[in-house]
A and B are shown apart, each in its own frame.
Chain A
């Protein structure tokens, strides 16, 4: 295991989900289930989007956004990265990551604020 942590592990999305369409939460969960244990061990992980032609937020929320509920931002920044994403997909990923940080930092407060705004129960 010591040697393993010296190198980065490349997780290829296509190999995990078996399709060029990264469009479902369930497929995103499959990718999360591959990378979260590695990050938990302190392993560097690179997620490769080679051969993936369509990516949407539901997939990214499950595969990457969810990491912010499990790991500190610093740890994710140190250990995790992506490659072979188009500029448009990187822009979407940035939205997902920014939203995930807010979601996990303030979830309880956000939910209550929305309910207050909508006049629902306290």
Chain B
């Protein structure tokens, strides 16, 4: 199969491009897939994460993907973040603005910690106050841990980021190739008819968790949303055919993507403190 991929940016159209690829390739088994990027004129580097997740599922079905026709600037970007090295392209020096494309297994929490320790410094830090940087790192970990706990992704978790020093903006994306938030919530609530929008909305509400048993949950996603709102950044969440954007609200894609993708856009000019002076160990419990 030959598929021409459209532009892939951090917006609805970008996710539609990936969803279109997935809708056509999902049923392929043990076939060649030629992914032609000659009409892809713009590609936000962090979006290599959801593309990588989709291609991992396609590869898991014994299909062989070849990526061709990549335009110069995009090839440069995707070689620098090492995404294209998985498809036979030689790597380029990453420079100081890249958080490389990387795939982790669900048990790799400590390796993911090492990844952040290695690649986050210099990407807006230390201009970000220590508190803001800490809360951002926590938010990223909350999403990674959410994938570990809920995604059931046998193919792992895919991450990638890009820092824009002139715009004081950092984009970072975490994708998994698992069951997806929407399916997880539908199963938990026993309602297969629940729309993707309603399922994402449910998952984002404070105190809501699909976890059962003795450990409470439902804090992490709310924590992450509150940080992004206060940071004046943005977040996009895609699961199934549901798209949520903190600045754009809920939307429905024409077709679905596998797993769940969370896109952070962080304002690295943020110099706020992120603590409440009224909270201390004496009044928490």
In the complex, what's the smallest C-beta–C-beta distance from B198 to chain A, in angstroms?
7
Cβ 8 A contact of A87, one of B198, B217, B275: B275
In the assembled complex, which residues on chain B have CB atoms less than 8 Å from the CB atom of A7?
Answer: none
Question: Can you name 19 A-B residue pairings with CB atoms under 8 Å?
Answer: A23-B109, A25-B145, A29-B215, A58-B217, A81-B281, A87-B277, A93-B284, A94-B279, A94-B284, A95-B222, A96-B219, A99-B206, A99-B216, A118-B189, A118-B191, A118-B198, A119-B191, A119-B194, A120-B191
Q: For the complex, is A14 an interface residue (Cβ under 8 Å from B)? A: no
- Which B residues between 119 and 146 are near A, CB-CB below 8 angstroms? 131, 134-135, 137-138, 141-142, 144-145
* Residues on the A chain within 8 Å of B207, using CB: 99, 102-103, 110
Residue from B131, B216, B220, B277 within 8 A of A100 (CB atoms) = B216
Q: Count the A residues whose beta carbon is within 8 Å of the partner chain — how many?
A: 51
Number of cross-chain contacts by CB at 8 Å? 136
Per-residue CB contact flags for chain A residues 87-99 toward chain B (1 = under 8 Å, else 0) read: 1101111111101
Contact with B along A71-84 (1 / 0, CB 8 A): 00100110011110
Q: How far is the CA of A78 from the CA of B208 in the complex (A)?
A: 29
A64 to B113, CA, bound (A): 22
Task: With a 10 A CB-CB cut-off, give which of A56, A60, A110, A120 has the most chain B CB atoms.
Answer: A56
Residue among B202, B220, B280 making CB contact with A57, cutoff 8 Å = B220
Residues in chain A near residue B141, CB distance under 8 A: 21, 23, 54, 56
Residues in B whose Cβ lies below 8 Å from that of A120: 189-191, 194
Whether A58 and B285, one on each chain, are in contact in the complex, defined by CB atoms closer than 8 angstroms, is no
What residues of B have a CB within 8 angstroms of the CB of A118 in the complex?
185, 189, 191, 194, 198, 202
The CA of A69 and the CA of B214, in the complex, are separated in Å by: 7
Write the residues of chain B forming the contact surface with A, with a CB cutoff of 8 angstroms. 109-110, 113, 131, 134-135, 137-138, 141-142, 144-145, 148-149, 185, 189-191, 193-194, 198, 202, 206-208, 214-220, 222-223, 273-277, 279-281, 284-285
A92 to B220, CA, bound (A): 9
Q: How far is the CA of A34 from the CA of B134 in the complex (A)?
A: 27
Which residue of the partner chain B has the closest CB to A59?
B145
Contacting residues, chain A, for B137 (C-beta < 8 A): 54
Whether A62 lies near B215 (C-beta < 8 A) is yes
Q: Which of chain B's residues has its CB closest to A20's CB? A: B113
B285 to A57, Cβ gap below 8 A? no
Q: Cβ of A117: which chain B residues have Cβ within 8 Å of it?
A: 202
